[in-house]
Amino acid sequence: MTAERPAGRAASWRDWRDWRAWWRHSTARLVVAAALLGAACLIWAATPPGTAGAAGPALVVLAACCLAGGTARLALAGLRRPDTEGYPGPVARLGAWSLDTLRRVPWAEASTLAVLALEALHPARPWHTALLGAALTGYLFAVHLAESSSGRGESAAILRSQAPVLAAGLGLLVLAAGSALLPSAGTGPAGAGLRAAAAIAALLACALALPV
């Protein structure tokens, strides 16, 4: 004999299960993931505050606006223009124009540039930049999955197929950050430039040698 669950409690349990199923299948969680990753990148690049110079606050505002715009674009991706038989009113036309503009602007690219510029304004901190690079790559993948995924399981399949290349890229990222921490062979701007050129050369060599 099993103890019966009270009706109200059973209904709430069913609601909770429905919500969980919806959350698991919908692209909303990818949109939320992209928004959270974008916000984390911005906060990470902006800390510590006050060390990015005069352009810092403006870049923070710009990046935040771009992130908000990108999140709104992803969230409204499924929104269709309402069917109207006749000529639409001013509010409907304004809404349609806003939606078109929202979909045309490259929000993710703009926010990436703003976050990178913000990070570049800070003094050199290789591990901090390396973590930002990993987070930015994750953010771009989340944006891509949110806008192109059409069902459950697809995101995992995409990431699984790209995992070796992503791992190689992250390995190079760690190597570059580690090389930046080593005591410099030469001092001054020439030595730093040399190290950057070496990192880029290593990166290009890996890209060309990629067995794909």
Q: Are 60 and 46 in contact (CB under 8 A)?
A: yes
Angle at 78 between CA 73 and CA 83, to 5 degrees: 115
Residue 115: CB minimum distance to another protein, A: 10
b vs e for 104-136, b when ≥16 Cβ sit within 10 Å of the residue's Cβ?
eeebbebbbebbbbbbebbeebeebbbbbbebb
Per CB under 8 A, the list member of 1, 24, 91, 187 interacting with another protein is: 24
- Does the protein bind another protein through residue 152 (CB under 8 A)? yes
Those residues whose C-beta lies under 8 Å from the C-beta of residue 149, and which sit 6 or more positions away, are: 27, 30, 155, 158
Q: Are 39 and 68 in contact (CB under 8 A)?
A: no
Over the window 83 to 122, marking each residue x when it contacts another protein by CB under 8 A and - when it does not, the resulting string is xxx--------------------x-xx--xx--xx--x--
Residue 8: CB minimum distance to another protein, A: 28
Residue 35: both structure tokens together: 């928004």
Give the residue from 34, 199, 201 showing the smallest Cα distance to 130: 199
Per CB under 8 A, the list member of 50, 90, 183, 189 interacting with another protein is: 189
Stretch that binds another protein, among 3-11, 41-49, 60-68, 151-159 (CB under 8 A): 151-159
What is the contact surface with another protein in residues (CB under 8 A)? 24-27, 78, 80, 83-85, 106, 108-109, 112-113, 116-117, 120, 124, 126, 129-130, 132-134, 136-137, 140, 143-144, 147-148, 150-152, 154, 158, 161-162, 165-166, 168-170, 172-177, 179-180, 189, 192-193, 195-200, 203-204, 206-208, 210, 212
